[in-house]
């Protein structure tokens, strides 16, 4: 059973602070890792993808991957109220001829003005 674990939150941070979201996964051979943002009542949208160990930065967002520890994180700098959403961690694994995503339950982030 391939699992992706996230703290469900809610995680509350003040506006302008750094929000840190964490995710662990069980499948050691997972190749690709994604962070999606989902606003209430909307569908998930991609924030970041990361494939190799280390950090990847895109604007206010930084994804960090440590395959040895089976751990991936997302940092959001200068958090804004518009960042308030549920953040889904997703991990690719192969199965029966296709690549599939396993999602965590998501962490609900609330940025307080």
Partner 1 sequence: ETGVTQTPRHLVMGMTNKKSLKCEQHLGHNAMYWYKQSAKKPLELMFVYSLEERVENNSVPSRFSPECPNSSHLFLHLHTLQPEDSALYLCASSQGGATDTQYFGPGTRLTVL
In the complex, which residues of this chain contact partner 1 (CB under 8 A)?
4, 31-32, 34, 42-46, 49, 51, 88, 90, 92, 94-106
Work out the number of other CB atoms within 10 angstroms of the CB of residue 87.
Answer: 24
Q: Which is nearer to partner 1, 62 or 86 (CB)?
A: 86
Q: Which is nearer to partner 1, 62 or 106 (CB)?
A: 106
- Spatial distance between the Cα atoms of 82 and 64, rounded to a whole number of angstroms: 22
Tokens of 24: 């662990």
Joined tokens for residue 55: 């950090």
**Residue 46 CB, nearest approach to partner 1 (Å):** 5
Q: Which residues contact 59 (CB under 8 A, 6 or more apart)?
A: none
The CB-of-8 to partner 1 minimum distance in angstroms stands at: 8
- Rounded distance between C-alpha atoms, residue 95 and residue 61, angstroms: 30
**CB 17 → partner 1: shortest distance, Å?**
27
Q: 34 or 62, CB closer to partner 1?
A: 34
Give 12 or 99: the residue with its C-beta nearer to partner 1: 99
Residue 4, SS3?
A: strand
CB of 111 to partner 1, least distance (A): 22
């Amino acid at each position: 059973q391939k699992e992706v674990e996230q703290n469900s939150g809610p995680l509350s941070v003040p506006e302008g602070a750094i929000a840190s979201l964490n995710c662990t996964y069980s499948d050691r051979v997972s190749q690709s890792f994604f962070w999606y943002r989902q606003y209430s009542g909307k569908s998930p949208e991609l924030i970041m993808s990361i494939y190799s160990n280390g950090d990847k930065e895109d604007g206010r967002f930084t994804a960090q991957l440590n395959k040895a520890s089976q751990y991936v994180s997302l940092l959001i700098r200068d958090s804004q109220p518009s960042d308030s959403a549920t953040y889904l961690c997703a991990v690719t694994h192969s199965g029966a001829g296709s690549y599939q995503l396993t999602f965590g339950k998501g962490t609900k982030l609330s940025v307080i003005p």
